[in-house]
Structure 1
Amino acid sequence: MTLRESVEQALKTAQVSVPDFSELLIRLLDSGVLCRDESQTEQILYDRFARLEPLVRDYLALMGISVLHDTRFHYVRIYPPGADTPGLGDAPDTPPATGLRARLSPHEVALVLVLRAQYERALREGDLDDDGCVWLTYEGLTLALRNLLGRSLPESRSERRALFASLRRLRLIRYNAEEWMENPGSHLRIRPLIVTFVSDDILATLEGARDDSDEGRERSASADQQEDEDVR
């Protein structure tokens, strides 16, 4: 039996057509992620994946692609060969498949790091909603970006819109495009998928750098205060 015949037989058993299976694979390979609560289309595709998960995993494994499926928060993410996959052990030493790798700009990297840090903080405090998301205001985000990395959002309005749209396509955030950035008190939701984009080691390094910076500022403030007292 050929591979095609084997796949068709499995699809027949699952009562899924070949075009529907192809649509699911194309969507996964194109976007790299599925979130059930994103849209009606992704809900259908996610449910289809849940029915065909063993077959999809085996099919993608032939190309060295790993699959991460979070059944609690209902999302799926795929990883190219050689990528570190959370919870799936060390990846084999395989040349990278650049077509599946998200090439992030410096602004995108900075924003992802800050979102991950804010998510971790809320996670520790138990401040997640029923969907595992963390709510963050625009003002709170800009403040966290400045405090953690000493950076600001792009000055250009169009660049800021493109930046947030990019992270939305990665299913890392959700927000109301009409309100976001218009109102400093408006919120975005950081999705649980963010934890798969930043490793615990990188997060620990980021938090360590923040603690060192805070300690340095405290020492500087203490020294300034002591100097003022000596002058008096």
Structure 2
Amino acid sequence: MKLTHSLEELLTQQKVSLNEFQELIVRLLNYTVLCRSESVTEQDLYDRYVRLEDLIKDYLSIAHIRIHHDQNFQYVRLFPPGAEIPGIIEQDESSYTGSLRQRLSQNEVALVLVLRLQYDKALREGKIDDLGYALESLESLSIAMKNVLRRPLPEKLTDRKKLFQRLRQLRLIQYRADEEFEGGEAWIKIHPMIVTFVNEDAIEALANIEQIEASEEVKEQLEA
């Protein structure tokens, strides 16, 4: 095919094979995210992406797939047609319902919001490491969930593990493979990409809800 031949010529200039290009595209479409600090594999794929960034953007733009590349924290995330960049709130409705569009459960949405709030807090307090991560205990996340959203983390250990595994798959958090999540002793590293995953509109909406609930509590106390 002419398109494949032209692609191979461009890849040859970058000393990348067609198989290596295909591997990178498949990985991006399957995972929707590359994080250089995640593993040796993702480090290699990220470095390959940097070499081919313009070509990959052109290639994926045919399907109206857009890319957010944070060079500071070295990660790449794909966004489907109609999605706001950055953010999880879309600008308009789209007929696209493919795998690139992240469908989060209520528990996942709740935890993502709390992760963003806790990251912002750590940022204000200067508790961010050299790679931009914020370290939070499971206990502090559990308390924040109850205080902010009035809901606990899943009680069943299997459900709790699945919840954190899902957010790790999205590269929003990191934790040791041997973490059990049974008590409050587990530690979670929040990736700086949480700031672009949850936009300011969502945070403002959450703050408004908190203000309304606080006003209602004061009103109830005055009327008691």
TM-score by length of 1: 0.88
User: How far does residue 144 in structure 1 lie from its aligned partner after superposition?
Assistant: 0.3
Cα pair 2:33 2:170 within 8 Å, conserved = yes
Q: 1:122: how far off? A: 2.1
Q: Residues 92 and 156 (structure 1 numbering): CA distance in 2 closer, same or farther, change over 3 Å?
A: closer
Which structure 1 residue ranges, 4+ long, deviate > 6 Å from structure 2?
Answer: 90-93
- Larger radius of gyration between Structure 1 and Structure 2: 1
CA 92–210 in structure 1, closer or farther in 2 if over 3 Å, else same: closer
Please report how far the alpha carbon of residue 37 of structure 1 lies from its aligned counterpart in structure 2 after TM superposition: 0.5
1:41 aligns to 2:41 (yes or no): yes
Aligned positions of 1:1-232 closer than 5 A: 2-86=2-86, 95-218=95-218, 220=220, 223=222
In 1, Cα distance between equivalents of 2:77 and 2:114:
21
Q: Which amino acid aligns with 2:141?
A: L
Amino acid at match of 1:22: Q
Q: Structure 1 residues 111 and 61 mapped into 2: Cα distance closer, same or farther (>3 Å)? A: same
Amino acid across the alignment from 2:190: I
Distance in 2 (CA, whole Å) between partners of 1:155 and 1:203 is 26
Distance 1:211 1:177 in 2: 38
Partner amino acid for 2:127?
Answer: D
Query: Counterparts of 2:21 and 2:91 in 1: how far apart (Å)?
Result: 26
Q: Following TM superposition, by how much is the alpha carbon of 1:183 offset from its aligned partner in structure 2, in angstroms?
A: 4.6
The percent of aligned pairs where both chains have the same amino acid is: 45
Task: Find the aligned partners of 1:24 and 1:166 in 2 and give their Cα distance.
Answer: 22
Deviations 1:173-205 (A, max 9, x none): 001132342452331011011122211111111
* Equivalent residues of 2:133, 2:190 under 8 A apart: yes
Number of equivalences: 222
Deviation at 1:126, TM superposition (A): 3.0
Residue 163 of structure 1 deviates from its aligned partner by 0.7
Q: Could you report, residue by residue, the CA deviation over 1:78-126 in whole angstroms, capped at 9, with x for unpaired residues?
A: 0011111129xx9787532422112111111111111111112222333
* Closer/same/farther in 2, CA of residues 74 and 150 from structure 1, 3 Å limit: same
Structure 2 counterpart of 1:15, one-letter code: K
Give the aligned residue type for 2:26.
Answer: I
- RMSD (Å), alpha carbons: 2.2
- 3-state SS of paired residue (2:99): helix
Question: 2:86·2:197 contact (CA, 8 Å) conserved in 1?
Answer: no
Larger displacement relative to structure 2 (16-25 or 121-130): 121-130
Unpaired segments ≥5 residues, structure 2: none
Deviations 1:199-221 (A, max 9, x none): 11111111222233344445555
CA distance in 2, matches of 1:155, 1:91: 35
Take 1:62 and 1:2, find their aligned partners in 2: how far apart are those partners? 16
